[in-house]
C-alpha cells in the first residue's frame, strides 16, 4: 500500500488498510470499514516532518453476525516534509528511522527494563502507535491524538513555570537513566550506528552563526547594546569551539538523548481536582527525530535555557540540577547500574562546561520558534494543484525526480565542501540573508515575547562571564 506524501493524499482505502493492520495485531476476527474521515487543514509544528491531524469514523464488528459498532479514531500522522530538500536532509541523517525505532522498539525496551527491575516506578509515556512504516522510500507513523486523553502543550511564549520545569527535569532524568542502563547492559548496535549530533555539528553551526550574526546586528543597532554585540562577536569562535568539544568529548558519559527537548516537544496532562488546581499528572515526550548518542546534559541545557524565562532560572536552576541528579542516580542504582564518581559537584562542573551549548542553541531556537516570520508557524495543507491531475502524473514524476536529484547533489556538495572556508562563508551569508525577516522583527520591537527572551539570555550570559574568553 502506497504511503501518502501529504494530507491531500490520505484516502479511505489507505485508512482502512492501516486500521485493519492495527486491529489484526490484537483481534484478527474484527471486520472494519471506514465510513468517513476528515483531515484538518492546519499542520502541527515540524521542521523535518509533516504533522497531520485527522479523524476517522468506522463501522466494526467482531464476527459476521455480530451487531455493528460505530467508532471514531482521532489520529496524528508524521510524514516526511513535502519540500524536497527537507526530505533529503531527513533521510541523510536518518531522522525518520530514529523516530521509527523509538516508537516501535526503544521506549518499549525502556519500559520492559522498568517493569522487570523497578515495577514501582512509573513507565515512560508515549502516544499509542497505530501504524508505522520506514523503508528507503516510505515513512509514516500514525499515532493516537493524545489531546483527546487530556494532554496539552504549554504556551511557548510564556515558557515553563517552576512546577512544569521540575516535572520535565524529572522526566528527562528518568529517560536518561533508563538509556544509560540500556547502553550498559543491552545490544545497542542498531542505535549506535545512527548519526550522532556531533557528526553534523559543522552543518548546525552554520545555522547558529547566521542567527547569532543577526542578533549581533540587532544589538549593534542600539547604543545601549552596541558594545555587548561587539563582545559577543569577539567571543563567538571560543563559544563554537567549546560547544564542539563538549558534544564530541569522550571524557563525559553518554547515552541516547532526545536531542530536541524543548517546550513544544512534551505535553502535560493535569489531574482533575475539586479546586481546579493545575496539578501535573503525566508528561508525554514526543518528536524523537533528533535522538542520538550524546552527552545527557545537552538535553538539560537545551530544556532550561530554551524553555524558561530568566526569573525561573534564577530562582530554580540549582534545585532543578539537584533534582535531576537525585532522580538519575536513584533510577540507575535501582536498576543495578549506578554511575560511579558522578556526584552533584561533578554534575554542576559538567553543567558549567556545557553552558555554551545551552546559550547558542537556545538563542537559535528562541528566535526560530517565537518569530512570527517563521514560515513553519502558520502552515496549512496546500490546496491541490493542477499537477495532481491523474493525466499529468508523468510530468509530476519527472519534476519530483529532478527536484530529488538536485537536492541530493546539493547535499553531496555540502558534505564534500563543508570543511572549505569559502563554502562555509557562502552558506553562512545565505543563512543570514534567509533570516533577515527575524532581524527586522527584532529591530521593530513588536514581538515583546521574542525580544524579552533573547535579551534575557544575552544579559544573563554576560553576567555569568560567558563572553569574557
Question: What's the CA gap between 131 and 142, in Å, rounded?
Answer: 5
217 lies in some domain: yes
Kind of pairing between the strands at 255-257 and 129-134: unpaired
440 lies in some domain: yes
Q: What percentage of the chain exceeds 90 in pLDDT?
A: 56
427 lies in some domain: yes
Q: According to DSSP H, which parts of 151-266 are helical?
A: 162-185, 189-192, 201-220, 226-248
Using the predicted structure, report yes or no on whether residue 140 has a pLDDT greater than 70.
yes
- Grid coordinates of 156: 511557548
Overall number of domains in the chain = 1
Question: What's the CA gap between 40 and 34, in Å, rounded?
Answer: 17
Q: According to DSSP H, which parts of 27-106 are helical?
A: 84-92, 95-101
pLDDT (tens digit, 9 = 90+) per residue, 371-405?
988 655 555 555 554 445 454 444 444 445 444 44
pLDDT (tens digit, 9 = 90+) per residue, 399-441?
454 444 444 444 554 555 455 566 566 666 777 777 888 999 9
Q: How many residues are recorded in the chain? A: 469
383 lies in some domain: no
- How large is the average pLDDT for residues 81-104? 84
Question: What's the CA gap between 355 and 457, in Å, rounded?
Answer: 11
Domain that holds residue 264: 85-124+151-377+417-463
Indicate the average pLDDT of the chain: 85
Q: For the chain, how far is it from start to end, CA to CA, in angstroms?
A: 57
Find the CATH number of the domain harbouring 291: 3.90.1200
> What region, left, alpha or beta, does residue 82 occupy, with left being phi > 0 and alpha being psi -120 to 50 degrees?
alpha
Which residues are CB-neighbours of 112 under 8 A, at least 6 positions away? Answer: none
303 lies in some domain: yes
Range in 89-98, 230-239, 392-401 the model is least confident about = 392-401
Whether the full predicted model's pTM is greater than 0.85, yes or no, is: yes
The dihedral over CA atoms of 315, 317, 322, 324, expressed in degrees to the nearest 10, equals 130
Is the C-alpha dihedral spanning 143, 146, 147, 153 positive or negative?
A: negative
CB 347 within 8 A of CB 173: no
Q: Where do we find the cell 487530556?
A: 150
341 by Cβ neighbours in 10 Å (0-12 / 13-18 / 19+) ranks as exposed
224 lies in some domain: yes
383 by Cβ neighbours in 10 Å (0-12 / 13-18 / 19+) ranks as exposed
73 lies in some domain: no
228 lies in some domain: yes
Amino acid at each position: 500500500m502506497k504511503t501518502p506524501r501529504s494530507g491531500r493524499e490520505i484516502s479511505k482505502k489507505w485508512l482502512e488498510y492501516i486500521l485493519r493492520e492495527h486491529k489484526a495485531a490484537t483481534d484478527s476476527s474484527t471486520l472494519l470499514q471506514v465510513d468517513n474521515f476528515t483531515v484538518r487543514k492546519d499542520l502541527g509544528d515540524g521542521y523535518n516532518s509533516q504533522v497531520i491531524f485527522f479523524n476517522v469514523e468506522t463501522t466494526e464488528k467482531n464476527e459476521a453476525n455480530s451487531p455493528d459498532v460505530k467508532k471514531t479514531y482521532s489520529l496524528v500522522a508524521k510524514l516526511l516534509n513535502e519540500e524536497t530538500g527537507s526530505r533529503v536532509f531527513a533521510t541523510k541523517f536518518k531522522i525518520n528511522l530514529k523516530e521509527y525505532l523509538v516508537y516501535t522498539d526503544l521506549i518499549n525496551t525502556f519500559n520492559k527494563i522498568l517493569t522487570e527491575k523497578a515495577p514501582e516506578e512509573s513507565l515512560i509515556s508515549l502516544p499509542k502507535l497505530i501504524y508505522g512504516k520506514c523503508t528507503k522510500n516510505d515513512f509514516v507513523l500514525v499515532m493516537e491524538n493524545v489531546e483527546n486523553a487530556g494532554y496539552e502543550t504549554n504556551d511557548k511564549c510564556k515558557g515553563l513555570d517552576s512546577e512544569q520545569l521540575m516535572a520535565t527535569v524529572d522526566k528527562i532524568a528518568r529517560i536518561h537513566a533508563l538509556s544509560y542502563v540500556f547502553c550498559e547492559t543491552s545490544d545497542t548496535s542498531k542505535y549506535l550506528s545512527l548519526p550522532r549530533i556531533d557528526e553534523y555539528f559543522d552543518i548546525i553551526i552554520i545555522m547558529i552563526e547566521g542567527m547569532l550574526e543577526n542578533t549581533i546586528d540587532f544589538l549593534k543597532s542600539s547604543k545601549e547594546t552596541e558594545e555587548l554585540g561587539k563582545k559577543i562577536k569577539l567571543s563567538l569562535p571560543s563559544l563554537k569551539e567549546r560547544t564542539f568539544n563538549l558534544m564530541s568529548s569522550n571524557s563525559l558519559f553518554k547515552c541516547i538523548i532526545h536531542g530536541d527537548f524543548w517546550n513544544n516537544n512534551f505535553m502535560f496532562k493535569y489531574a482533575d481536582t475539586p479546586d481546579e488546581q493545575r496539578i501535573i499528572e503525566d508528561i508525554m515526550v514526543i518528536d524523537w527525530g533528533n535522538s542520538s548518542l550524546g552527552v545527557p546534559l545537552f538535553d538539560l541545557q537545551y530544556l532550561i535555557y530554551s524553555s524558561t524565562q530568566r526569573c525561573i532560572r534564577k530562582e530554580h536552576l540549582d534545585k532543578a540540577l539537584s533534582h535531576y541528579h537525585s532522580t538519575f542516580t536513584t533510577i540507575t542504582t535501582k536498576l543495578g547500574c549506578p554511575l560511579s564518581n558522578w556526584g552533584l559537584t561533578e554534575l554542576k562542573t559538567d553543567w558549567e562546561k556545557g553552558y555554551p551549548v545551552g546559550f547558542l542553541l537556545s538563542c537559535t531556537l528562541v528566535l526560530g520558534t517565537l518569530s512570527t516570520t517563521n514560515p513553519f508557524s502558520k502552515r496549512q495543507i496546500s490546496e491541490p494543484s493542477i499537477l495532481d491531475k491523474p493525466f499529468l502524473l508523468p510530468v509530476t514524476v519527472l519534476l519530483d525526480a529532478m527536484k530529488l536529484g538536485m537536492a541530493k547533489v546539493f547535499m553531496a556538495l555540502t558534505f564534500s565542501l563543508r570543511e572549505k572556508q569559502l563554502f562555509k562563508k557562502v552558506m553562512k551569508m545565505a543563512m543570514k540573508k534567509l533570516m533577515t525577516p527575524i532581524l527586522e522583527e527584532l529591530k521593530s520591537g513588536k514581538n515583546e515575547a521574542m525580544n524579552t527572551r533573547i535579551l534575557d539570555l544575552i544579559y544573563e550570559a554576560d553576567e555569568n562571564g560567558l563572553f569574557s574568553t
